[in-house]
Amino acid sequence: MSGDWERATRVMPGGVSSPVRAFRSVGGTPPVVARAHGAEIVDTAGRSYVDLVGSWGPLILGHAHPAVLEAVVRAARDGLSFGATSVREIELAERVLARYPFAERVRFVSTGTEAVMSAIRLARGATGRERIVKFDGCYHGHSDGLLVKGGSGLATLGVPDSAGVPAAIAGLTEVLPLDDEGAADALFAKKGGEIAAVLIEPLPANSGLLVQRREFLAHLRALTARHGALLILDEVISGFRVAPGGMTELTGITPDLVTLGKILGGGMPAAAYLGRAELMERLAPNGPVYQAGTLSGNPVAMAAGIATLDALAGPGVYSRLEALGAELERGLAGALARAGEPGSVARAGSILWLCLQPPPAPRAWHAVRREGAARYAALHRALLARGVWLAPSAFEVAFLSLAHTREHLARVVTAFAEALAERAPAAGPR
């Protein structure tokens, strides 16, 4: 065990500030990070890795992008926090609303968890109803009512729920399977009048990458509208990643509320929820739904977000992300085929998931075969040893950035082919 990791475990639970970072489901000792630039991350032992985690989504420009750094330094010189409205908040708000034209107001918070938690409070306040609906395998942060059949760390650790969540709160969360119109219809037939909102990742990416049919999302839109419930699209991952206006733009579906995070803060803590003025003006101070934050709209985080969105507005950015994603998909899928390994690569633009089960790629969490996890653990270790940093979980996706080059991708594919050839016995989690 590396000295730094051991030190970490003596002072922080599991050695981490967020559970999946601990490598519990893949085994081995997590490298402790010293620094990162572009597409590469360097540990305290001086080893360099091609990074396919990208801080779990925010770093679409790569690590320490010069324009973002410059904006952050300039903002920091102007003061780290004001506790009052600042110009950078207005500038980021204008950019967000330009990319999500259905929305007229945006409220900034600091994390995706807060954004979704607050959007739900607003939905409950606006409808006067208490029940919410989420989907099995989707992750929406760690607020009490959403740690019910969640993805991300919950899927990784094989625990559907969390201790410490009062049954009375979890009982207000209805959980449906993805990709199943009939199940949604049946729930609404029974409880439609009690449901404040349906919450979904329009591109579920926390329990593998479970690409949904547009018709399914459109069905949820029509169903919620018919029953007076709101539709909340959680675009914390997909926002600005799959298109400037995320899945809202790609699907053309108009939600009531959208939640954003990750890329919005360009690697700094910033998140937001947005919607029509009529809904958003129900927030305090104009309305009765209370939500607040000492560091909300932090000027340094706003500066990172502005610089990131401006860089993403450059020509050919999304086609380059698509081309990089397609190239890595081809390379990984080719290596799987040549090795005779069952599996496929699910992909949406620059988000990829190595799905280690026979095709077709699943669209719902119950269709994801858990046996893939042991095989993934062996591949993860073999890849890390070859300088490729994949998410330490079979059910987390890989993120590419504009800093990845074709050479980086070639290194990943070569390492992957070698790892497959090694056919290491799949050791269980440590």
Nearer to ligand PMP, 17 or 84 (CB): 17
- Cβ proximity to ligand PMP: between 111 and 419 the closer is 111
Q: Candidates 90-98, 133-141, 155-163, 320-328 — which segment interacts with ligand PMP by CB under 6 A?
A: 133-141
Rounded least distance, CB 127 to ligand PMP, Å: 21
190 is catalytic: no
Q: Select from 36, 72, 132, 237 the one that contacts ligand PMP (CB under 6 A).
A: 237
One residue of 52, 92, 103, 116 binding ligand PMP per CB under 6 A? 116
Q: How many residues bind ligand PMP (CB under 6 A)?
A: 16
- Of 20 and 378, which has the nearer Cβ to ligand PMP? 20
What minimum distance in Å lies between the beta carbon of 17 and ligand PMP? 11
Q: Which is nearer to ligand PMP, 54 or 141 (CB)?
A: 141
Sign of torsion over alpha carbons 328, 395, 58, 360: positive
Under the criterion CB under 6 A, does residue 141 sit at the interface with ligand PMP? Answer: yes
Q: Which of 152, 156, 212, 350 binds ligand PMP (CB under 6 A)?
A: 152
CA atoms within 13 A on the CB side of 96: 31
Does residue 134 carry a catalytic annotation?
no
Is 113 a binding residue for ligand PMP by CB under 6 A? The answer is: yes
Q: Is there binding between residue 140 and ligand PMP (CB under 6 A)?
A: yes
Q: Which of residues 204-223 bind ligand PMP (CB under 6 A)?
A: 206
Which CB sits closer to ligand PMP, 24 or 375?
A: 24
Task: Work out whether 380 is an interface residue with ligand PMP (CB under 6 A).
Answer: no
Q: In whole angstroms, what is the distance from residue 268 CA to residue 81 CA? A: 13
| 124 near ligand PMP, rule: CB under 6 A | no
Strands of the sheet containing 131-135, edge to edge, are 105-109, 271-275, 257-260, 230-234, 195-200, 131-135, 173-176
Least CB distance to ligand PMP at residue 365 (A): 14
Q: Does 261 bind ligand PMP (CB under 6 A)?
A: yes
Active site residue 262: yes
* Distance between CA atoms of residues 24 and 42, nearest Å: 21
Under the binding rule (CB under 6 A), the answer on residue 246 touching ligand PMP is: no
Site for ligand PMP in 332-361 (CB under 6 A): none
**Which among 49, 262, 273, 318 is annotated as catalytic?**
262
The b-or-e profile of 253-268 (16+ CB within 10 A means b, else e) is bebbbbbbbbbbbbbb
Which residue in the set 111, 207, 298, 350 belongs to the binding site for ligand PMP (CB under 6 A)? 111
Shortest Cβ distance from residue 148 to ligand PMP (Å)? 14
208, two tokens: 């593998």
Verify cis geometry, omega within 30 degrees of 0, for the bond prior to 285.
Answer: yes
Give residues in contact with ligand PMP (CB under 6 A).
56, 111-113, 116, 139-141, 152, 201, 206, 234, 236-237, 261, 271
Residues identified as active-site: 139, 234, 262
